[in-house]
């Protein structure tokens, strides 16, 4: 019998240097996709998947994240007095209940594995979800929900969301090797963090969503610094894979890497277009803007779509399942 996944860990200690000066005084996870902070998008995905406790591994200058997941009495009472019930509902719906959040600090930037390890006492001896909030994964149902289904179907183990990227990009990610099971789920049999292109077992990468058994913590504790001199989560997963199965869920939506300027802009455009309230108006305005922009570019060198996509790097478009 598999154990229920109740807790999700969100590593949010990164400095966000790629977004300076915007991130000088606010955490990169508080930048917004339309009107929702990036971190809220990841929490939304986790709540949809049934998560009950949200564990944030923060760092210095991240207190805005803690404030975001707290009540704002003055604001609420002003909104109430002004009869702004829609805005009040929004605040209420986004807020995990009292006691459903925990915050701990990664005191030094020692890598993703170390960030996860910092949450070990809060997670305790139970399986948990891990979401890298920079990766916004657009799909219905959400990526973690689909992974929970696989976890239940397989009767436990570990689950990793994977996604195909162009071969030239494999050296920027954790990459998996796999067999397919009879029901189409991947059985991962190899993992390697940021391999040289000619050593990658496939072009399926680890996409930023995980379900992990608590045994991962002792593997992280035993791990030595790996790629980039950091304690790599992937190295600890390789050690755990010798003892437990790792299933791969091939994500079938659209991923935006919001740690990257172009991914972030595209996430805003895609989510703006998908919104019921502003989507139609936004589309018209965007079309006009693009036409005007194209007209102003007639004398300039055109930018080929493939060049743009290459710069976006991690943005991969697929039809949403």
Binding mask 251-290 for ligand G1P (x = CB under 6 A): ----------------------------------------
> Does residue 174 interact with ligand G1P by CB under 6 A?
yes
Q: How many residues bind ligand G1P (CB under 6 A)?
A: 11
Please select the residue that binds ligand G1P; options are 23, 101, 213, 234, rule is CB under 6 A. 234
**Considering beta carbons, is residue 155 or 228 the nearer one to ligand G1P?**
228
**Considering beta carbons, is residue 34 or 206 the nearer one to ligand G1P?**
206
Shortest approach of ligand G1P to residue 236 CB, angstroms? 11
Shortest approach of ligand G1P to residue 234 CB, angstroms? 5
Going from the C-alpha of 306 to that of each of 147, 270, 287, 290, the distances in angstroms are 31, 18, 20, 18
Going from the C-alpha of 239 to that of each of 98, 155, 189, 249, 283, the distances in angstroms are 36, 21, 12, 20, 48
- For the segment 197-226, give every residue that binds ligand G1P (CB under 6 A): 205-206, 208
Going from the C-alpha of 145 to that of each of 61, 81, 250, the distances in angstroms are 31, 38, 13
Q: What is the DSSP letter of 11?
A: E
**Considering beta carbons, is residue 54 or 256 the nearer one to ligand G1P?**
256
**Considering beta carbons, is residue 79 or 129 the nearer one to ligand G1P?**
129
**Considering beta carbons, is residue 150 or 175 the nearer one to ligand G1P?**
175
Residues 290, 48: contact at Cβ < 8 Å?
Answer: no
**Which stretch of DSSP H or E encloses residue 209?**
strand 204-212
Shortest approach of ligand G1P to residue 111 CB, angstroms? 8
* The token pair that represents 57 in the structure block: 């591994």
**Considering beta carbons, is residue 111 or 127 the nearer one to ligand G1P?**
111
Q: Give the residue nearest to ligand G1P (CB).
A: 174
* The token pair that represents 287 in the structure block: 């079309």
**Considering beta carbons, is residue 135 or 211 the nearer one to ligand G1P?**
135
Shortest approach of ligand G1P to residue 120 CB, angstroms? 18
Shortest approach of ligand G1P to residue 266 CB, angstroms? 16
Those residues whose C-beta lies under 8 Å from the C-beta of residue 23, and which sit 6 or more positions away, are 15, 16, 17, 31
Calpha distance 183→247 (Å, rounded) = 12
- For the segment 110-169, give every residue that binds ligand G1P (CB under 6 A): 112, 132, 135
* The token pair that represents 288 in the structure block: 């006009």
Q: Is the dihedral of CA 232, 236, 241, 245 positive or negative?
A: negative
* The token pair that represents 186 in the structure block: 């991947």
Those residues whose C-beta lies under 8 Å from the C-beta of residue 80, and which sit 6 or more positions away, are 88
Shortest approach of ligand G1P to residue 171 CB, angstroms? 11
* The token pair that represents 229 in the structure block: 């001199």
**Considering beta carbons, is residue 34 or 238 the nearer one to ligand G1P?**
238
Please select the residue that binds ligand G1P; options are 45, 193, 235, 260, rule is CB under 6 A. 193
Q: What is the DSSP letter of 227?
A: G
Q: Is the peptide bond before 21 cis (omega within 30 degrees of 0)?
A: yes
Residues that bind ligand G1P (CB under 6 A): 112, 132, 135, 173-174, 193, 205-206, 208, 233-234
């Amino acid at each position: 019998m598999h154990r229920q996944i109740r807790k999700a860990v969100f590593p949010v200690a990164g400095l966000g240097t790629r977004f300076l000066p915007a991130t000088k005084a606010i955490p990169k996870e508080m930048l917004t996709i339309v009107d929702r902070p990036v971190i809220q998008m990841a929490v939304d995905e986790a709540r949809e998947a049934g998560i009950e406790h949200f564990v944030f591994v923060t760092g210095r200058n991240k207190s805005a994240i803690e404030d975001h997941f707290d009540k704002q009495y003055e604001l609420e009472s002003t909104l109430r007095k002004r009869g702004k019930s829609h805005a009040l509902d929004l605040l209420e719906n986004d807020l995990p209940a009292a006691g459903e959040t925990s915050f701990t600090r990664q005191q030094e930037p020692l890598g993703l594995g170390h960030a996860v390890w910092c949450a070990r006492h809060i997670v305790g001896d139970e399986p948990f979800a891990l979401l890298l909030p920079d990766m916004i994964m657009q799909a219905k149902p959400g990526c973690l929900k689909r992974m929970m289904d696989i976890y239940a179907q397989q009767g436990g183990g570990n689950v990793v969301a994977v996604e195909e990227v162009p071969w030239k990009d494999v050296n920027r990610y954790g990459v998996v090797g796999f067999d397919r099971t009879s029901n189409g789920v991947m059985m991962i049999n190899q993992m390697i963090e940021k391999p040289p292109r000619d050593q990658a077992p496939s072009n399926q990468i680890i996409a930023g969503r995980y379900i992990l058994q608590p045994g991962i913590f002792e593997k992280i504790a035993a791990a030595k610094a790996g790629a980039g001199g950091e304690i790599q989560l992937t190295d600890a997963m390789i050690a755990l894979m010798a003892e437990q199965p790792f299933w791969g869920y091939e994500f079938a939506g659209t991923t935006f890497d919001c740690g990257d300027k172009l991914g972030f802009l595209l996430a805003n455009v895609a989510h703006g277009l998908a919104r019921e309230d502003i989507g139609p108006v936004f589309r018209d305005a965007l079309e006009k803007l693009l036409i005007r922009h194209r007209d102003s570019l007639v004398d300039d060198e055109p930018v080929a779509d493939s060049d743009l996509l290459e710069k976006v790097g991690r943005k991969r478009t697929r039809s949403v399942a």
